[in-house]
Amino acid sequence: MPQRMELLKAGASQLGIALSDGQLDQFETYFHELTDWNQRANLTAITGYDEVQVKHFLDSLTVCLVARESLEGPTRVIDVGAGAGLPGLALKLVFPGIRLSLLESVAKKTAFLEHLTAKLGLEGVSVHTGRAENLARKEGLRDAFDLVVVRGVARLPLLLEYCLPFCETGGRVVALKHGGDGRELDAAANALAQLGGRIEEVARVLIDGLTDDRVVIAVEKTGPSRERYPRRTGIPAKRPL
């Protein structure tokens, strides 16, 4: 019989992370709650045991490729568009000292995030229901985080408009992306200029099972984002910077 979360454990070791039995138990609970809630909350199309370990949990931990030091202290982290809690909650299980905020616009999904946080007995986690375009203007959220994480299917200029306003100057946004061919980086030049950021590092993901030319993009926040950003709901997607 396969060992519990063995693919996650093996992949994490490639990232220099040694997961304890207690952490593996938490990820096991995460998997069962995710698949149990999925039918009513439409959390993910990926539900197989092996796939979830690699394409969800391990993929989330690749944030460590560019932000390991940030995660090892009481860093203020926000996951924008958290969905089923990835990468934010996966990072919280490995780095319990972080102070994590999860932002998600769909109430069924935030109900799951609140349930899972309680089920796992996690402290220092807050859940916010709403769109980034609105919550990025809220006191206590704007310019408030050392690290902003996002797993994005949207193009980089759009992700940056959603994410950089949450980041304090000197902090960073870390985006997990597929298809790292460099063209997105060129397309993001205007967004970076408008929002106050610069590409700090692009790390290729060379971990067993994680293909699709995955890259982890770290963007340093170099100055305050202009007040007009993010623009109102729908505009960033229609007219990307």
The predicted model scores a pTM of 0.95
Label residue 175 exposed, middle or buried (CB < 10 Å: 0-12, 13-18, 19+).
Answer: buried
Q: How far is residue 22's CA from residue 26's CA, in Å, rounded to a whole number?
A: 6
170 in any annotated domain: yes
Structural contact between residues 43 and 106, judged by C-beta atoms closer than 8 angstroms: no
The answer to the question of residue 154 being in a domain is yes
pLDDT tier at 3 (50, 70, 90 boundaries)?
A: confident
Q: How far is CA 186 from CA 95, 162, 174, 199, in A?
A: 33, 18, 17, 10
Give dist(CA 112, CA 213) in Å, integer: 30
Please give the average per-residue pLDDT across 202-226, as a whole number: 91
* Planar angle of CA 124, 229, 75, nearest 5 degrees: 20
Please name the amino acid found at residue 155: R
| Start-end of H helices in the chain | 6-14, 21-41, 49-51, 59-61, 64-71, 88-94, 107-119, 132-135, 156-163, 183-187, 189-195, 235-238
What's the pLDDT band for 183 if we cut at 50, 70, 90? confident
In a domain, 10, yes or no: no
The pLDDT of residue 1: 44
**Number of domains the chain is built from:** 1
**What's the pLDDT at 213?**
84
Residue with tokens 């460099």: 182
Asked whether the beta carbons of 90 and 57 are under 8 A apart, the reply is yes
- Is 70 exceeded by the pLDDT of residue 105? yes
- pLDDT per position as a tens digit, 46-78: 999 999 999 999 999 999 999 999 999 899 999
Domain carrying residue 179? 64-238
Closest CA to 116 of 82, 74, 67: 82
Q: What is the pLDDT of residue 212?
A: 76
12: number of Cβ within 10 Å: 23
Residue 54 lies in a domain: no
| Residue 6 maps to a domain | no
**Length of the chain (residues):** 241
The CATH number linked to 143 is 3.40.50.150
How far apart are alpha carbons 115 and 224 in whole angstroms?
Answer: 35
Put residue 72 in one of left, alpha, beta given phi > 0 → left and psi -120 to 50 → alpha. Answer: alpha
Of 186, 198, 180, 219, nearest in space to 80 by CA: 219
At 181, the pLDDT band (50, 70, 90 cuts) reads: low
Q: Looking at the domain assignment, is residue 20 inside a domain?
A: no
**Residue 16 falls inside a structural domain:** no
Residue at 59 is within a domain: no
Tracing tokens 């926040």 back to the chain, one arrives at 221
What does pLDDT average to over the chain?
94
Are 11 and 208 in contact by the 8 Å Cβ rule? The answer is: yes
